[in-house]
Structure 1
Amino acid sequence: MASDLLPRSSSGGRGGERLSDEVETIVRKVLRTRYLTRQRRSVAVICREIDRECKMRGLPPPSRSSVQRRIGRLDPVKAARAREGEASARARKSAGGAPPLVDGVLERVQIDHTPADVIVVDEHHRLPICRPYVTAAIDEATKCVPGFVVTLEAPSATSVGLCLAHMAIDKRAWLERIGVQAVWPMSGKPLELYLDNASEFKSEALRRGCEQHGIGIDYRLPGQPHYGGVVERLIGTMMRMAHELPGTTFSNTRERGDYDSDAKAVLTLAELQRWMALAVACYHGEPHAGLGGRTPAGVWAEKVAEHGTPPTVTNEAAFLVDFLPVIRRVLTRTGFTVDHVQYYSDALKPLITRREELDRIVLRRDPRDLSRIWVLDQDTGEYLEVPYRMWSRPAISLWEQRAAVARLREQGRAEIDENALFAMVEQMRHITDTAAAASRKARRNMERRKAAPPRTRPRVNVPEPPAVDAGAVTAAPFEVIEQW
């Protein structure tokens, strides 16, 4: 029955507000008959109804905050079922009915993605590009957001790695770098990730990275979307906040109506990231229904005092490497060839001398910047940073490499060499630069290039590798383990 949802007593006590039994009865009645219905009346409408009922009986009406407190004490699952239906109620249920209790900070963290409900513009022309993607994490015990990332790329293994790297670092240097003044102490490596069954969450990159850092992984049961209700509610909250931004797309076309999202868009990707950082900081200071009205920041501080501060990461780049997409290649005298691009460093010499004893070697690369790869040394378990064989070549992204290969294939090239590949990339960039003012796709491509991490030169000079004998054995056909 709907009456089962209603609070059984007044707030009363010190710091509370006592209502007379008559007024309490009116509040319960209006909540039962007017609030807990599929009409989904707002709090303002409910308060007006209570005011009217009280004045008809000559009683002093309760304040809006008193009504809101009583609404806040309703069972969230049953209230959602009464107002929004069974599907909404499922989203508020805990996984498996009674999930294992988590008490410590970052004991279990949920991660998920969503397209942002806002259009971003390019930095040069301030013209609309697209809706970016948001990957966000939430700590189950405190409802805090330890990390997020905003990208132009669709969700991938790299998105997850970037979110984990952002989660693990101390945020103070990052906040200063992006120009945001805010307090965000929520950082550290999680003990366990709780994820859905999307391919990026089952990648070899994520599995190997979590094993390397002692992070457990658990997955939702297939066909049970409400098992990830904690992170989905966070994403819903973030997107509702985004609806206040110029250029918002709202949640659907009905809500958007005749609002022209493209014409109203003004925020660049970097500006949206700064806005979201401030929005998360504000969220941490707001009362949370799942915490009994306490703030996530307050619960975090209490639990850190009780359990200690989670371990953070000092070298974000090194941590991220452990979560980058994995590929495997055969080592030759000239180093590695990956997607028609050659990589070499003196650091490979000890491996080259015994290359015939080695199987295909695990490599990692950042799809945003292909100017270097990281080679797993099977003996030490550490990664060696190996740059382009020809360092003078520009850093390119994986999407540029694939687009260049596709164009060369269209021109009838049966064999693609490195020189032709980089020449095509340069042609594509020139076309993009000249067409950026007129083409949304071109503007997006320019912003993707800008989103690449800063390129650093190697610490030592990279000599030319030894010449290859005409009869040298060529590398075995390669295989892409993961797509990005």
Structure 2
Amino acid sequence: MDADPVRIVARGELTMSDAAWEQARSRASVIGALASRGSTGTAAADRAALELGVSRRRVYVLLDRYRQGSGLVTDLAVRRSTGGKGGNRLPEPVEDIIRDLIRKRFLTRQRWSVAALHREIARTCAVRGLKAPTRNTVSRRIAMLNPVEVGRRREGADAVRPLQSAGGDVPVIGSILEQVQIDHTVIDVVIVDERERRSIGRPYLTVAIDVYSRTLIGMVVTLEPPSAVSVGLCLAHASGDKRPWLERLGVEVDWPMSGKPKSLYLDNAAEFKSEALRRGCEQHGIRLAYRPQGQPHYGGIVERVIGTTMRQIHELPGTTFSNPAERGRYDSEKMAALTLPELEKWLVLAVASYHGSVHGALGQTPGGKWAAGVAATGMPAVTANQTSFLVDFLPVIRRTLSRTGFVIDHVHYFANALKPWIGRRDRLGRFIIRRDPRDISRVWVLEPEGHHYVEIPYRSISNPSISLWEHRQALTRLRARGAAQVDEAVLFRMIEQMRQVSETAVKTTKRVRRETERRKHAKDPSRLGTRTSKVPPPDAPTDVDPGEVSVQPFEQIEEW
């Protein structure tokens, strides 16, 4: 009985073609090495998958077959098939051509596109008298590869660092929203104000990228320097239904990518380390992870995914290009033409175009990858009230309650909702208060029971809505004038004078124009920040000042 398996194996060996035997021998070399190690982790399996040109699942199938067999080369030979359902599987010589050219042309620093690779495969098949596979078939073969190894071969080790844990193993991202990366940049274009159409400088962009599908799930364009609030706004935009926002923008595109992330992978910038962000994520069950200190700029998915659009921005009027040498004698300030809303609309259209374009690392469109993820896990739940969500990520202040309400930086806040607490305020201690720096005309106060945030407006409802930067600028001017005491009335008179200067000036300065646009942009009703009475609470975080942070320009970018 022992001879039969040997004879069967021998017959199989004799009837195998040279190409099939070479493939089986190559498989045995790689799979045999894995089998000798005992357990096989995902990182080792992915490296083997890339070397053999198969999926990780296929590696485990071959490993199991090798261990259950006799440890011979023929245990790993390609088994004949009728083609399965439809009988449309490719002949092995065609598969060999695909694998070989993916390795020699696609997985290189030259970074061939899928279209160029398919043309070369079709040409090689024609020379050998074989029927060429379709481009979709080639894309599916690429999609089966481990994206980390693909990125390493095509772009280098630094490009895939965000996808690796500190131990070097590859964390498998198997579903949409499993990992989202957020980062900021200053956009390479000068914009103009809506009143005089004169330059006001460069805006900032905060984006959230779903690593699994490479889709953009959140975007915020602002004149405010990146801060903890920028992160909260981007998360709120990512988690909510974008259709009402797109309608207000007047842009007819489909942007279905929404939902609350399961985890965030972030840089070590100050706004990503704020207590407000950490507590907000804890409240919503979002895990936080950071790039290890001392590594090169983590770049990864989020900084490269907007690559081609940043290059397209260099074609817009008012572009600053990537550096002075590239800009040459081009006068960005003089040529600027787009307002902030116009730039935002342009970016939305660029995102829609990106979602519908084949992604080199995925082998399919990001939109298609997202749709496949939705089909596998179901449609993610979206946040019904984006303002409520945003409040959990706003900076926190702690204040005691007086008979007349709360006083925060010389500004009084009061509402009837505070009356039940005033009589027992001595026992309640300091309250947790959230404040939006873009509009400090109201704050959100956490109830003593800790169940809800209650919105509390100015005590004097005649005071205009102002931003925190206007408030601080007014205080600075008052102190420069030697004001011994600052009260609410004096503060708002100074702010009114500042606004009159900017509104009546015949020829305003660039700084004043920018400040006017910042105020207008923050009050735009199409943005987050509509009033709400009660908001579910988070745990109580410490006070956070968003402040200004440095931003990185888009460099070393990946094609859309």
* TM-score w.r.t. length of structure 1: 0.79
- Amino acid paired to 1:179: G
- Amino acid paired to 1:424: M
Give the superposed CA RMSD: 4.1
1:450 paired residue among 515, 520, 534: 520
Which residue is equivalent to 1:244?
315
Q: CA deviation at 1:15?
A: 11
Q: In 2 relative to 1, CA 456–235 (structure 1 residues): closer, same or farther, beyond 3 Å? A: closer
Q: CA deviation at 1:91?
A: 6.1
Counterpart-to-counterpart distance in 2, 1:311 and 1:80: 31
Counterpart-to-counterpart distance in 2, 1:364 and 1:457: 14
Which residue is equivalent to 2:545?
482
Q: CA deviation at 1:94?
A: 4.1
Which residue is equivalent to 2:377?
307
The one-character-per-residue Cα deviations of 1:288-330 (angstroms, maximum 9, x if unpaired) are: 1221x11111111111111011110111112111111111111
- Amino acid paired to 1:265: A
Secondary structure of 2:418's aligned partner? helix
Which residue is equivalent to 1:264?
335
Which residue is equivalent to 2:502?
432
The one-character-per-residue Cα deviations of 1:207-244 (angstroms, maximum 9, x if unpaired) are: 22112212121111112245450112124344223223
- Amino acid paired to 1:482: D
Identity of aligned residues (%): 54
The one-character-per-residue Cα deviations of 1:90-133 (angstroms, maximum 9, x if unpaired) are: 66874543332121211111100010111111011111111111
- 1:418 pairs with 2:488: yes
Whether the aligned pair in 1 keeps the contact of 2:262 and 2:287 (CA below 8 Å) is yes
Secondary structure of 1:287's aligned partner? coil
Note the 1:349-360 alignment, pairs <5 A: 349-360=419-430
- 1:135 pairs with 2:206: yes
Q: CA deviation at 1:30?
A: 10
Counterpart-to-counterpart distance in 1, 2:412 and 2:438: 17
Whether the aligned pair in 1 keeps the contact of 2:204 and 2:226 (CA below 8 Å) is yes
- Amino acid paired to 1:316: Q
Counterpart-to-counterpart distance in 2, 1:255 and 1:75: 36
Q: In 2 relative to 1, CA 367–246 (structure 1 residues): closer, same or farther, beyond 3 Å? A: same
Greater C-alpha Rg: 2
- Amino acid paired to 1:329: R
Note the 1:200-215 alignment, pairs <5 A: 200-215=271-286
Q: In 2 relative to 1, CA 99–354 (structure 1 residues): closer, same or farther, beyond 3 Å? A: farther
Which residue is equivalent to 2:358?
287
- 1:220 pairs with 2:291: yes
Counterpart-to-counterpart distance in 2, 1:78 and 1:303: 21
Q: In 2 relative to 1, CA 236–7 (structure 1 residues): closer, same or farther, beyond 3 Å? A: farther
Note the 1:337-376 alignment, pairs <5 A: 337-376=407-446
Whether the aligned pair in 2 keeps the contact of 1:195 and 1:220 (CA below 8 Å) is yes
Counterpart-to-counterpart distance in 1, 2:102 and 2:448: 68
- 1:253 pairs with 2:324: yes
Counterpart-to-counterpart distance in 2, 1:446 and 1:123: 10
Counterpart-to-counterpart distance in 1, 2:249 and 2:211: 27
Secondary structure of 1:113's aligned partner? strand
Which residue is equivalent to 2:404?
334
1:378 paired residue among 448, 461, 485: 448
The one-character-per-residue Cα deviations of 1:189-213 (angstroms, maximum 9, x if unpaired) are: 1111111111111112212211221
Q: CA deviation at 1:372?
A: 0.4
Which residue is equivalent to 1:469?
none
Whether the aligned pair in 2 keeps the contact of 1:115 and 1:133 (CA below 8 Å) is yes
Whether the aligned pair in 1 keeps the contact of 2:428 and 2:448 (CA below 8 Å) is no
Q: In 2 relative to 1, CA 41–202 (structure 1 residues): closer, same or farther, beyond 3 Å? A: closer
Whether the aligned pair in 2 keeps the contact of 1:326 and 1:362 (CA below 8 Å) is yes
Secondary structure of 1:107's aligned partner? coil
Q: Which runs of 5+ in 2 are unaligned?
A: 1-49, 55-86, 125-131, 534-541, 548-560
Which residue is equivalent to 1:408?
478
Q: In 2 relative to 1, CA 99–332 (structure 1 residues): closer, same or farther, beyond 3 Å? A: farther
Whether the aligned pair in 2 keeps the contact of 1:368 and 1:396 (CA below 8 Å) is yes
Whether the aligned pair in 2 keeps the contact of 1:157 and 1:201 (CA below 8 Å) is yes
Q: In 2 relative to 1, CA 243–95 (structure 1 residues): closer, same or farther, beyond 3 Å? A: farther
Q: In 2 relative to 1, CA 42–28 (structure 1 residues): closer, same or farther, beyond 3 Å? A: closer
* TM-score w.r.t. length of structure 2: 0.69
1:297 paired residue among 367, 377, 394: 367
Structure 1 runs of 4+ aligned residues shifted over 3 Å read: 5-9, 13-16, 27-32, 40-43, 72-87, 89-97, 225-228, 235-238, 435-438, 453-459
Counterpart-to-counterpart distance in 2, 1:92 and 1:193: 11
Whether the aligned pair in 1 keeps the contact of 2:185 and 2:205 (CA below 8 Å) is yes
Which residue is equivalent to 2:305?
234
Counterpart-to-counterpart distance in 1, 2:532 and 2:160: 53
Q: In 2 relative to 1, CA 285–82 (structure 1 residues): closer, same or farther, beyond 3 Å? A: closer
Whether the aligned pair in 2 keeps the contact of 1:376 and 1:384 (CA below 8 Å) is yes
Q: In 2 relative to 1, CA 332–179 (structure 1 residues): closer, same or farther, beyond 3 Å? A: same
- Amino acid paired to 1:214: G
Which residue is equivalent to 1:57?
none
Which residue is equivalent to 1:319?
389
- Amino acid paired to 1:276: L
- Amino acid paired to 1:160: V
Q: CA deviation at 1:257?
A: 1.9
Q: CA deviation at 1:457?
A: 8.2
Q: CA deviation at 1:359?
A: 2.1
Secondary structure of 1:437's aligned partner? coil
Counterpart-to-counterpart distance in 2, 1:434 and 1:446: 12
Q: Which runs of 5+ in 1 are unaligned?
A: 55-61, 460-478
Which residue is equivalent to 1:472?
none
Note the 1:138-157 alignment, pairs <5 A: 138-157=209-228
Whether the aligned pair in 1 keeps the contact of 2:502 and 2:512 (CA below 8 Å) is yes
- Amino acid paired to 1:262: E
2:237 paired residue among 166, 191, 194: 166
- 1:394 pairs with 2:464: yes
